[in-house]
Structure 1
Amino acid sequence: MRETELVLGRRWILVLEPGEEVIAALDEWCARTGVRAGTVDLFFGAFRSVTLIAGRDDTVDPELPLPTSVEVAYLEGIGSGSIAQKDGSARVHLHVAAGVKSAGGAAYAGHLLSAEVHYTVEVVVQEVLSPELTLRADPRAHGIGCLFFE
């Protein structure tokens, strides 16, 4: 376990509009407002489409990160995540659990690669002033990007 105490800054609520791509909109917002690190305490809403790291077939080794993704249409969902520095820019890292509206709410969950807003998505962001948060490959996690404190 890694741990650190956070020095917090500003706090926002954002409302994303139909057609916006969630991660791209949040990355652009971070650049515009100067947010370098933070927590996405909550986001929720209606999505026209969501692409997650996931698979539809049995995995050969469940310990390894999945190399595939799935796209699912017309969902309602909720998630959270972090904002950290990667390659000199703030990057948003989100996970979501979302139910397909036409399938009785059958759910998909996982690391969000992309999502298009259908009606609205509301986001609560808390800025972290210190320490610096970074995303970098962690060999102990099969090389996937993990959160580190500088």
Structure 2
Amino acid sequence: MFAAVRSGAFNRAASRTFSTSSRRASDLAKLTLIGRLGRDPEVKFTKNNSEFVTYTVATTDYPPPPPDANGERPPARTSWHRVLSFNEGANKFLVSLKKGSRVYVEAGYELREPEPDADPTTPMGQRQIFLKHEHIRVLNTPKTPTEE
């Protein structure tokens, strides 16, 4: 008898795990990168003298695109992603990383449209994507000269 009661209670609880209530989910704009640091992270300062760290992650499309009509493959394409970190605790860790480290990065992003009166050849006259650091995991570090 107790098994039947427990079983019924379990089934009711399991059926409620997927809510149909009107609670709204948060919007999310996130980018996940797996690549290598293009250079050592750098400490910089804003106009208000707030410290931040910037680092660049290079990602390469593998495998390269399929062969063309002549049987030749175009080279794989590398993209460069600049990430900004305003997190004081993360910044201390970030500056210890070295160029060539393979990393997994999660970053929020913000898309900024060009200013209407700006020169299109300047950054303010172009669409910009700002990547804001949220999480980083080092997958492996570059070999040092003594390890080679």
> If the length of structure 1 is used for normalisation, what is the TM-score?
0.29
Q: Which of the pair is proportionally richer in strand?
A: 1
Q: Which of the pair is proportionally richer in helix?
A: 2
